[in-house]
Structure 1
Amino acid sequence: MNNYTLYVTKPEASVSVNSTMLQTLETCVLAINFLVGVPTHSYVIWLIVTGRGILSEFFFLNVSVCELGNCLNCLFFVLNMWTSRLFVIECFLKGLVITGRPLFQCLMCVERYLAVVHPVTFLKYKPLRYRVICSAAAWIICLSSCLCCMFIVVLSVLYVFMWFLSMQFLVFLSINLLCCVAVLRALKQSGPGERGRERGEENHMKRRAFHLILITTLNMITTYVPYILSGIFVIMTTRVVYGLWVTGLICYVLAGFVQPVVFLHRAGQFFCLSS
């Protein structure tokens, strides 16, 4: 049982046929995440850096960089099935999986919350230097989480790891949902009375923003709730159900492609969705 981590590591030698199938499915999902994720997130980073959108998409840029680290973690996990030399690096990169994505998504949600609900405060802290300061602090937290994951997983302290994972996901998800719900409520309210074309354009922009925040909310629920429930189950029963963790892994990996797809669609680069 102590061999299980966020990406559930190798089961014992005497595994059942069902466990072997789950392990094969897990390996395929991680391989797909690496093969598809690296070019996707690299392209997103290139578009942000070269498209002069680094100010408005600075936090999303950090999310994409963090996702590249997650993709490398998937590669090291698969390679670790044949060699244990990369085990420590894999354990270190788990901090990006546990803390990196939810933390930067949290910063994005807080930024959107300020922009919609408190626009005056948002304009005050809109300059890039404030985003850089927040991102630097976030990366320090991520590196600290990586070190904690490395020691916890290497020492095989499963109970502590589950607390570490579940509490972080729960805290970040709660903050994200509070911000998203507040933004959705604000967007549903009618703005100042305007007529004609300007009112139509305003409603169209509000509908697009509403749909974007709604997709983000559902995406975060899909990403973190399965792992939170699985982690709480392990904490309360001290048993790891392999199928639950593979299900959480699939949700986590697939949900990670939603935001890049939405970004590419907004940028007119996702050809099958672009009008």
Structure 2
Amino acid sequence: MNSSNPSSLEDYTKIIMGISTSINLVMGLPTNVYVLWLIVSGASGTMALEFFALNLAVSEMLFCSSNVLHLVNIYVPSLNIYSFVAFSSGLLTLGRPLFQTCICLERYLAVVHPVVFLRYKPLRYRLGCCVVLWAVIITSCCISMLYGKNQRFLFRIYLAEYLFFLSINLFFGLSVLRALKQPKPGEGGGVEKERDRGSDIKMKAFKIILLILVSMMIYYLPWIVLVTASELSKDIVLGDAGIVCFSITVVTGFVQPLLYLHRTGRLPCIRGL
């Protein structure tokens, strides 16, 4: 009886991983393609203002496409393509939170430091920033490929990354909320309208940061709890539990594009933020 348990557990984890990967491929790829088309075509605003969202969509599309390799690795392990799978996982573990944080940073600067935001508003600055970010992401992919078999080492890196990104986005959200609670005083009709417009911009920025922060907590909180618990107690095994946590992160690949479509008013019967 005991000898059958490991096999049964392995079968369950394969099923969970297979389902989450399939959902990400079927739902994540078309929604991210749609977001990319909206940004490139200019249907949702200027490309400069949505450049980080565009790069996030590209990163998600690349990972969604690589899910074909994930499925092959799950059900045909004899092909030995785990290195390619581990490489592509870097797009998920770093690419997604990195570009989400850049979106939050942009909103934070627009509200709290508008002079700095206007100074670096041109597309060339965002383009240069994204070149550096993609270099960091590719480096992360290479690290994932080289140390793919050392789960504990990788999970510690993920824990540090996720805690950092959650903390900094929480700071952005609280800073924008504080700015929202302290509107600039003014008198007169024109000034009142301008103040109301500024408050609307702040509220929109706060909602965007809040949605991203909540979605990141859904993605990464299981990782944080698991790895922290495993560090505190060596009796906790990361293997199968880590696969479940990774599956949660994978299956939610369509959440960010849906939030973007919601924000831009592209979802039926739902007003944008």
Shift of 1:246: 5.0
Runs of 4+ in 1 over 6 A off after TM superposition: none
CA distance, structure 1, for counterparts of residue 124 and residue 166 of structure 2: 26
Residue 210 of structure 2 is matched in structure 1 by 214
Q: Which amino acid in 1 is paired with 2:25?
A: F
Deviations 1:73-128 (A, max 9, x none): 43321111214343221111111112111111121222111111000111111111
Residue 152 of structure 1 is matched in structure 2 by 147
CA distance, structure 1, for counterparts of residue 8 and residue 269 of structure 2: 39
CA RMSD for the aligned pairs? 2.6
Q: Which amino acid in 2 is paired with 1:168?
A: E
Farther-moved stretch of structure 1 (231-240 vs 85-94): 231-240
1:266 aligns with 2:263: yes
Aligned length: 262
SS in 2 for 1:142: helix
Residue 140 of structure 1 is matched in structure 2 by 135
Task: Report % sequence identity.
Answer: 37
CA distance, structure 2, for counterparts of residue 160 and residue 262 of structure 1: 32
Residue 5 of structure 1 is matched in structure 2 by none
CA distance, structure 1, for counterparts of residue 133 and residue 66 of structure 2: 19
Q: Which amino acid in 1 is paired with 2:213?
A: T
Residue 168 of structure 2 is matched in structure 1 by 175
Shift of 1:66: 0.8
Residue 92 of structure 1 is matched in structure 2 by 87
Which of 60, 77, 89 aligns to 1:67? It is: 60
Shift of 1:69: 2.2
Residue 128 of structure 1 is matched in structure 2 by 123
Shift of 1:234: 3.1
Distance 1:248 1:185, change over 3 A: farther
CA distance, structure 1, for counterparts of residue 226 and residue 39 of structure 2: 35
Shift of 1:208: 3.5
Unaligned runs of 5+ in 1: 1-11
Residue 32 of structure 1 is matched in structure 2 by 23
8 Å CA contact 2:27–2:254 kept in 1: the answer is: no
Q: Which amino acid in 1 is paired with 2:260?
A: F
8 Å CA contact 1:223–1:251 kept in 2: the answer is: yes
Which of 103, 106, 129 aligns to 1:111? It is: 106
1:230 aligns with 2:226: yes
Distance 1:178 1:274, change over 3 A: closer
Unaligned runs of 5+ in 2: none
Shift of 1:205: 4.4
CA distance, structure 1, for counterparts of residue 104 and residue 198 of structure 2: 21
Shift of 1:200: 5.0
Deviations 1:26-81 (A, max 9, x none): 31111101111111101111110011521000001111111112213433211112
8 Å CA contact 2:20–2:248 kept in 1: the answer is: no
8 Å CA contact 2:90–2:140 kept in 1: the answer is: yes
Q: Which amino acid in 1 is paired with 2:265?
A: G
Distance 1:218 1:192, change over 3 A: same
CA distance, structure 1, for counterparts of residue 10 and residue 227 of structure 2: 19
Q: Which amino acid in 2 is paired with 1:245?
A: G
SS in 2 for 1:257: helix
